[in-house]
Amino acid sequence: MKICLECAEGGHLDEMLSIIDAFEGHDIFFVTTKAPTTEGLDKKYKVYYIRRQYSTKQKWAIYLRELLLLPQLIVHSLTILLKERPRVIVSTGGGATLPLCYLGKLLMVKIIYIESLARINQPSGTGRLIHPIADLFLVQWESMLKFYKKAKYWGKVV
């Protein structure tokens, strides 16, 4: 089975790599952002870098950049999905989660989302937006079940 592992750099990538053994025997590929923490990932796995991270401390600049890059991100995500044809997308959030998962859903790809281990008392923005389309939505703290009606608690996944 072909599986797309989608995550942002940093902690999202660390969480994905902590469960990488679960995908042994499957054809996997990563979709992530280009950043110092993702360098070298392509030496061990097939990786699609969807965009380069830019550093800025001004929130308005981040939102404006994201909005301007959205059409490019949609086209790039669709290109990856049509080329690879995964049966499942597993995401730990961040990065290109929203366009990739929503486009995947339109292409009949199963969506598995794992809410971050760091989310104990408040849901992530990405989690809130992916929850309605996820085929399996996992939270790692029982306290998070009150925020997501169809979530499953399996304990600490990562």
pLDDT at 114 over 60: yes
The pLDDT value given to residue 150: 92
Number of alpha carbons in the 13 Å side-chain half-sphere of residue 45: 24
What gap in Å lies between CA 73 and CA 51, rounded to an integer? 8
pLDDT at 56 over 60: no
What gap in Å lies between CA 68 and CA 75, rounded to an integer? 13
The domain limits of the chain are 2-153
Q: Which of 46, 154, 131, 30 is nearest to 89 (CA)?
A: 30
Place of tokens 């994201």: 66
Say which CATH architecture domain 2-153 belongs to: 3-Layer(aba) Sandwich (3.40)
pTM for the model: 0.89
The pLDDT tens digits for 85-101 are: 999 999 998 867 889 99
